[in-house]
Amino acid sequence: MGHRHFNGVKTAALFGVMWALLLGLWYLVGNGSPGLLVLFSGFGLAMTFYTYWNSDKLAIKSMHARPVSEFEQPEMYRIVRELSTAARQPMPRLYVSPTMSPNAFATGRNPRNAAVCCTEGILQLLDERELRGVLGHELMHVYNRDILTSSVAAAIAGVISSVANLLFFFGGSDRDRNPLVLIATMVFAPLAASVIQLAISRTREYDADEDGAKLTGDPLALASALRKLQSGTVRAPLPQTQDLADVSHLMIANPFKGGGIGALFATHPPMDQRIARLENMARGMNGGSPHTGRY
């Protein structure tokens, strides 16, 4: 529970920084006007509700996924049914996306309205044990209400960007209209909000890794899957279109080519760190040995 407790505190702290940034901008734009705070908060709530309520539809549409029957995907159905039963949660809808880029995601506003999607690439790349590890990870995103968390973070980041733009074009109080300050605010505030939003996404990935491994009882299965996905997504990345960028944080692996300074803006933690955490978890479950003999 150590990692999970730390991640929960970190997520709360990151949200606190986002709200502090928003309140600081509100003060600059409206000089503390309560009306503007209500206006922008209402706008943020509306964005959050729309994204959260339609998260499954937006993600499925972006990946051109289609629903599949148990006859078409018996292995996928069997694994998800076993895991959802073990978690005492309802069976989600299952989809397959017609792309060879190996990935998977789960979405939906709650467990009763959840959807799990695998690409054709990941179904061909992973064996059953590894796929079980991946599906356990994805189901925990739904059970942990991570879709709501990511929707709120995205909405606050969007409001911060809007307020920063408003400050640039209309200025704040007379003492805040230094052009250099306004330009710096317009650039820095949205950038800072985006970095914090992505940090929240990476923190939730660590939690889903840990909780998914607990659900399956097999951390090394997920570690093995992540190794394959690390090279598989490099060989067959998704095109970096806007609709896919909007849902990329839902996927178990970063679907785009990255590296260098781009790591700062990644929606996922480094694969090596995720694998190392899972191997440490396996050592704790197996009396100090990272190997179970099932590779």
Q: Which residues are catalytic?
A: 138
As beta bridge partners, residue 94 has 116
CA atoms within 13 A on the CB side of 18: 29
Tokens standing for 43?
């706008």
Phi, psi torsion values for 104, nearest 5 degrees? -155, 155
Q: From the CB of residue 240, how many other CB atoms can be counted at a distance below 10 Å?
A: 12
List b or e across 57-74, with b for residues whose CB sees 16 or more CB atoms inside 10 angstroms: ebbbebbebeebeeeebe
Asked if residue 208 lies in contact with residue 278, where contact means CB atoms within 8 angstroms, the answer is no
Question: Six-digit token pair at 116?
Answer: 């799990």
DSSP state of 104: E
If you count DSSP H runs as helices and E runs as strands, how many of each does the chain have, helices first? 11, 4
C-alpha to C-alpha distance for 291 and 283, rounded to whole angstroms: 8
Question: What pairs with residue 110 in β-bridges?
Answer: none
The whole-angstrom separation of Cα 154 and Cα 246 is 10
Task: Report which secondary-structure segment, H or E, holds 39.
Answer: helix 34-53
The Cα–Cα gap between 70 and 75 comes to 8
SS3 content of the chain, % helix, strand, coil (to 5): 70, 5, 25
Token code pair at residue 68? 């599949």
